[in-house]
Amino acid sequence: MKISPSLLHLYAVTDRQWLHGRTLESQVREVLEGGATILQLREKRLSDEDFLAEARAIQKTCQEFRVPLIINDNLAVAKAIGAGLHVGQSDAACRTAREALGPDAIIGVSCTNVEQAIQAQKDGADYLGVGAVFPTSTKHDADYVSDTELRAIGNAVDIPLVAIGGITLENATRLAGTGIAGVAVVSALFAADSPRDAAQKFAQLKY
């Protein structure tokens, strides 16, 4: 599926560790109200049954805002609700995901170098999540991707890139001119006092 780079401008990635008494659905609603253009639901500790139930609820909110929902690393859940899927290098193969979800599903792949990017494109990826572009607290084992490597990846493939890893309102502007379509943001949205206000500020940035 060919997707517009504008779809990746503000790629919100959920993380329930910052709920602080709020519900994930309410936080997602705030982020979407603020201008997130795509949402990835990431759950590392929920059972498949609970993940599926949560995904159905979040999907309704995404549909209300006409924002695509991407499921992180769970092909069964993505297929069950007809959502997109994001996989890493050690997750289900992109090719397998494409065969299971069909040509119209949005599929993204995490990568850190040109070789991985080229392979992901061959396997049917619609976009690439590239990073970590900055130090990140959400993934301690993440490989660092320099601006030079980020540009090289963009030049090597024909599908859009979204930068991820430690991105904040203060450092996001340093990514301008690197060729990315947008940024994937976790804590700078979901740990914010107002996810809505944070999303509004990110949505105004240009890359």
Cβ atoms of residues 158 and 5 within 8 Å: no
The pLDDT score that the predictor gives to residue 63 is: 98
The pLDDT score that the predictor gives to residue 90 is: 77
For residues 35-47, give the mean pLDDT. 96
* Predicted confidence (pLDDT) per residue in 128-152, tens digit: 999 999 987 666 656 899 999 999 9
Active-site residue identified among 29, 42, 98, 187: 42
Cβ atoms of residues 207 and 10 within 8 Å: no
Active site residue 139: yes
Active site residue 42: yes
Cα–Cα dist 161/59, whole Å: 24
Nearest 5°: phi and psi at 56? -60, -40
pTM: 0.95
* Predicted confidence (pLDDT) per residue in 152-195, tens digit: 999 999 999 999 999 999 999 999 999 999 999 999 999 999 99
H-type alpha helices, the chain: 24-34, 48-65, 75-81, 94-101, 114-122, 147-156, 187-190, 195-203
**Can you say whether residue 124 is alpha, beta or left, with left for phi > 0 and alpha for psi between -120 and 50 degrees?**
left
Active-site residue identified among 16, 79, 95, 139: 139
Active-site residue identified among 29, 98, 110, 187: 110
Residue type, 70: I
